[in-house]
Amino acid sequence: MVQNRSTSKARKSPNRKKKGRKLTQKLPVQAPKSRRFFLVAKTLFSSILFWVLALISIVGFLFLVYPRISIEPGESLDPYKPFETAFIVKNDGYWPLVDIDYSLNIDKMEDYNHNSVANGTIAGISEKIGKLRANESSTIFMKRGVVAPPGFIKYAEIYIRTTYKPYLLPFTFSENRRFKTDRRSDGQYIWFEYSSEK
């Protein structure tokens, strides 16, 4: 009889252990509301930061490659002949420019014999500059197109039409720059840029 009781106790013991295991199982613990808010805020901040940095990168790239070109009168070989003045084309941007085409046109011109020209193209002043690196410049000479004795030109208005492309980009830019002469009291000519509605 003693042996049977010990056997029954031995058989019942595993069931008791299983019950004990069930009682000791831990229930899932939910994160506090403050922590959940922190995680959401962190995700939102990371997303906003990503898009802000992306936008800054795009704007910086556009600022780098956007072309900036200047055309200004240079030194004159003969200040008493306005068309002896050379014009300087310069790349003021940070990106190289290619396929730079320019043509020099007369808007208005009159000499002291009352001969006038309007809306004409100066022959021979239409060329191409292959490439201008950043801060590099090239020279446009006008003396081949108009030949006149000293002090013969009363006034002249011209415009230089320019087209160009940023290096490795398919976009073409164009612009017109207008200049006119001013004859000083000593008979010397100077060129200055002016704006026009045309």
Per-residue pLDDT of the chain (198 residues; tens, 9 = 90+): 445 555 555 555 555 555 555 555 555 555 566 777 788 888 888 999 999 999 999 998 888 888 999 999 998 989 999 999 999 999 999 999 999 999 888 888 999 998 888 877 665 567 889 999 999 999 988 766 678 889 999 999 998 999 999 999 899 999 899 999 999 999 999 999 988 655
pLDDT at 27: 55
Could you name the CATH architecture of 69-194? Answer: Sandwich (2.60)
Identity of the residue numbered 85: T
* DSSP of 93-155: SSS-EEEEEEEEEEEEEEETTS-EEEEEEEEEEEEEEEEE-TT-EEEEE-TTT----TT-EEE
* Strands 137-141 vs 189-194: parallel, antiparallel or unpaired: unpaired
pTM, whole model, 2 decimals?
Answer: 0.69
Tell me the C-alpha distance between 186 and 39, whole Å. Answer: 79
Note whether 150 and 108 are within 8 A (CB): no
Note whether 144 and 124 are within 8 A (CB): yes
